[in-house]
Structure 1
Amino acid sequence: MPATEEADPTGPGGPGAPVDVVSLGESMVTFLPSRPGRLADVPAFTRTIGGAESNVACALAAAGHTVRWISRVGADGFGDHLLEAIGAYGVDTSAVRRDADGRPTGIYFRTATDRSTTAHEVVYYRAGSAASAMSPRTMDLADLWSGRVLHLSGITAALSDDCLALMRELSERRAGRPLLSFDVNHRPALWRDDSGPRVLLDLARGADLVFVGDDEAAQLWDLHSPEAIREALPEPAVLVVKAGANGATAFVRHPGTGTGTGTGAATGTGTGTADSATDTVTSVPALAVDVVAPVGAGDAFAAGFLSATLRDLPTEARLRHGHLTAAAVLTDAGDVSAPPSRAHADRLAALDDAAWAGLRLGPGWTSGAAEPGQRQEAVPAS
Structure 2
Amino acid sequence: MSGPVAVGRAAATADVVCLGESMVTFLPSQPGRLADVPSFGRAIGGAESNVACALAAAGHRAKWVGRVGADGFGDHLVDAIAAYGVDTSAVRRDPGRPTGIYFRTAADRATGTHEVAYYRAGSAASAMSPENVPYEDLLDARILHLTGITAALSADCLSLLRSLTGPRPDRPLISFDVNHRPHLWRAGDEGPGVLLDLARRADLVFVGEDEAEEAWGLRGADAIREALPEPAVLVVKQGSEGATVFSARRPEPRTGDPGSAPATSDTVTTVPALRVDVVAAVGAGDAFAAGFLSATLRELSVRDRVRHGHLMAAAVLTVPGDLTDPPARAHADELVALDDAAWGRLRLGPGWTAADRAGIDRSPAPQEVHPT
Q: Do structure 1's residue 110 and structure 2's residue 104 form an aligned pair?
A: yes
2:203–2:254: 8 Å Cα contact kept in structure 1?
Answer: no
Q: Distance in 2 between matches of 1:378 and 1:38?
A: 33
Q: Distance in 2 between matches of 1:273 and 1:91?
A: 35
Q: Distance in 2 between matches of 1:145 and 1:77?
A: 29
Shift of 1:44: 0.7
One-letter identity of the residue aligned with 2:145: H
One-letter identity of the residue aligned with 2:298: R
2:175–2:203: 8 Å Cα contact kept in structure 1?
Answer: yes
Q: Distance in 2 between matches of 1:247 and 1:17?
A: 32
> Matched residue of 2:235: which SS?
strand
Gaps of 5+ in 2: 1-10
1:304–1:323: 8 Å Cα contact kept in structure 2?
Answer: yes
* Matched residue count: 352
With CA pairs under 8 Å and 6+ residues apart, which has the higher RCO, 1 or 2? Answer: 2
Shift of 1:371: 2.4
One-letter identity of the residue aligned with 1:245: S
Shift of 1:278: 1.3
Q: Do structure 1's residue 223 and structure 2's residue 212 form an aligned pair?
A: no
Partner of 2:305: 318
Q: Distance in 2 between matches of 1:320 and 1:251?
A: 15
Q: Distance in 1 between matches of 2:191 and 2:331?
A: 39
- Out of 288, 301, 305, the residue aligned to residue 301 of structure 1 is 288
Partner of 2:360: 371
> Matched residue of 2:106: which SS?
coil
Matches within 5 A, 1:93-242: 93-101=88-96, 103-193=97-187, 194-242=189-237
2:284–2:317: 8 Å Cα contact kept in structure 1?
Answer: yes
Q: Do structure 1's residue 327 and structure 2's residue 320 form an aligned pair?
A: no
Shift of 1:17: 7.1
Shift of 1:260: 7.2
Partner of 1:60: 55
Q: Distance in 2 between matches of 1:344 and 1:260?
A: 31
Shift of 1:176: 1.2
Q: Distance in 2 between matches of 1:260 and 1:253?
A: 10
Q: Summarize deviations over 1:173-226 as a string: whole Å, max 9, x none.
A: 221100000000011110113411100000000000000000000001111110
Q: Distance in 1 between matches of 2:330 and 2:370?
A: 19
Shift of 1:375: 2.0
1:175–1:261: 8 Å Cα contact kept in structure 2?
Answer: no
One-letter identity of the residue aligned with 2:344: A
Q: Distance in 2 between matches of 1:121 and 1:100?
A: 30
> Matched residue of 1:93: which SS?
coil
Q: Do structure 1's residue 48 and structure 2's residue 36 form an aligned pair?
A: no
Partner of 2:7: none
> Matched residue of 1:236: which SS?
coil
Q: Distance in 2 between matches of 1:43 and 1:255?
A: 55
Q: Distance in 1 between matches of 2:218 and 2:298?
A: 32
Q: Summarize deviations over 1:19-49 as a string: whole Å, max 9, x none.
A: 1000000000000000100000001100000
1:260–1:273: 8 Å Cα contact kept in structure 2?
Answer: no
> Matched residue of 1:376: which SS?
coil
Q: Summarize deviations over 1:35-93 as a string: whole Å, max 9, x none.
A: 10000000110000000000000000000000110000000000000000000000000
1:29–1:78: 8 Å Cα contact kept in structure 2?
Answer: yes
Structural RMSD (CA): 1.6
One-letter identity of the residue aligned with 2:102: Y
- Out of 253, 262, 266, the residue aligned to residue 274 of structure 1 is 262
Shift of 1:171: 1.1
Q: Do structure 1's residue 75 and structure 2's residue 76 form an aligned pair?
A: no
1:174–1:261: 8 Å Cα contact kept in structure 2?
Answer: no
Partner of 2:8: none
Q: Distance in 1 between matches of 2:294 and 2:48?
A: 14
Q: Summarize deviations over 1:96-144 as a string: whole Å, max 9, x none.
A: 000022x000000000001100100000000000000000001011111
Shift of 1:378: 4.1
Shift of 1:284: 0.3
Shift of 1:377: 3.0
One-letter identity of the residue aligned with 2:171: R
2:100–2:119: 8 Å Cα contact kept in structure 1?
Answer: yes
* Identity among equivalent pairs (%): 69
Q: Summarize deviations over 1:293-349 as a string: whole Å, max 9, x none.
A: 011000000000000000000000000000000000000111011110110000000
> Matched residue of 2:210: which SS?
helix
TM-score using structure 2 length: 0.92
Gaps of 5+ in 1: 1-15, 263-271
Q: Distance in 2 between matches of 1:83 and 1:320?
A: 31
One-letter identity of the residue aligned with 1:201: L
Partner of 2:273: 286
